Structure 1
């Protein structure tokens, strides 16, 4: 009993010494809370604006499609009127019947194709809206918690013990807020790694994996550039389906929980192809052409970001070029891959010259990170918590860089771990794994992390 009391007294003494030896940090804590509160509020406003923009885009696209159908009908009716001049009797009746058949055909085509596309778009809008609404709800809860702590901190005064307790409690809620803001500073810790063969009998040669994308249910899509295929892997990383691309696919990104966009690039073909995963099958959908090469692709709500090798462009999902965000023609292939932070306020691009660039949403350069371990960085990915992963192709290294894009947090894998010419990298939340694709190798590497 005496030993237990002595132990408790020792703990009390340690806490007392800790609080007496450290400054209260009350002012700094209050400032940090105010800063995070402001950023959470800004994120809420941005997310609500994104929902409104998404719904507006859908309505505008629907109106264009309906107007196009009306135009087709009016054009055909005008042609029929012109052709009916000078006709009578049986010929006139024949023209009327032919016109009815053609009008019916146009309407049926609208029902079968356009209406289907509109319904698919509507489902996508509902899905994205649900995801964003859920995020807004989380932001609201965190904002309320932060506000309560902020009020408490302002009332503590000079009480050092209470300040320490408040700091400990605030640290957790602030970390939650930073995660929502895509500013997680947590470094991954690799627990184990495995390799999985992704070659299939119809492949003409060794796999050349240039893109990886993970669906919310844990299924994985990989881009096999050399064999011109997009392959669907199950949660055990076995190929269960594939789709043959008409040209060389180079990158891939998630659009909705069941749809991805694939960047296709050859000397003559530069396009974005959309593919839907439907009951374990890959179904090609709409696509649009680009007037420049495409080396990388990323998506955030209704914005599509595409790198050309020398520029970073922003497109709408229907293929409309919005603007050129970044350009640097001073080096060979300086703008290779791109990624977007979870909140969309930061863009990341890789340069062949050992660099990772961090840009603001408008393309303003915020930070440059240079590292010999990033020699020829090709793989680039941002996790849902904002952790930045990047591969050094020639240095055979996978790094995690801070969300600010200014410093390395940790080296995740090297040549000793089997990393040889790494190209794409992607994080899977379902399995807490980092997946790495390799250049001219039939295997992908999977690193389990905490």
Structure 2
């Protein structure tokens, strides 16, 4: 029997590959097979099948359109037959009690006391299998697993985004602590500077007093020397009296300042601050929250009032977006704003947009894109970020046509007008016009718009 190459059943699997031409394989060539001959039990490529047909005119090979008539490949057989526990053994039994496939070793070691261990060759005589239903079940499970994988990948992005956001909070906390320490340091420096100024002023006053007394005493000394030999009795009396007064004043000043002290400034650190900081394990607590996302079903309904007290018009919630952490954003058409609801559906933040919003989609775990349009003037995509339960408006993309719907996929934006679907980059560059309704529908739409315009004119 030929050793068959692999089929193209599933290109995503490592065990399935394409069938190769048997003749070419003998020549060490890897050419894909296009035919299988049941009589020869061989595969042939498009070139070799010609020679085969000339030699074996009565053989009826099956082409790829009849691949269901091609044999099961050896690798597929090995994949299905090999025991998961005993790799060298084939599965040939089934334990009815435990509903498990067994090889000879499994049956002897683990199921010899089971009441019914049957050969698979005997079971298939009485039981049929529905592989098509199995394929449907596998496909369903694959889709569910893919959804879970996509969610977990989105969860990784979300937790990374929350990490980056909290990293900024930590850095901001550090900046605030630094600013507080800078302020305390400046106050301490100012206090020490004031102390220095006061001490220097006190010493400067004494110095000025010393200079003043010395100058006056010198003047009196010089004056006495000048009149001592000139018999000026009146001047001598006055000089004598002034000298006594100034000497007494000087002696009093010297007595008051007889203790010569040297003043210095010292700093005694606040040990409580140093000790408090050194005892802290960090700038704050690191926590993580695990939340179960809500699944909306059609069984029952709840009416939520998200109108704000200062609104003149009733709210018209035209779009909604649920973030991974359970926060909900709603776009209000009448009041031209977007609101953030917490898990209890209470409005915790809101922000205005340029004009009437039409649709909204999530572009990152904490950012949404909102289409705003008041044809023919404004056509914009407004980006809004959710941070610390607050909404912050970001950049805007100016669009050159009417916009309504919006969706995000793999880093691109998909935007609809009334009649077309466009693909844009996140920076606002139009990639392509992907779809447009036919001209008849467009004409009908123009007529409807025209009638609406006439009706509005008549009403006004």
The TM-score normalised by the length of structure 2 is: 0.37
Computing the radius of gyration over CA atoms, which structure comes out larger, 1 or 2? 2
More strand, by proportion = 1
The TM-score normalised by the length of structure 1 is: 0.38
Q: Which has the higher contact order (CA 8 A, sep 6+)?
A: 1
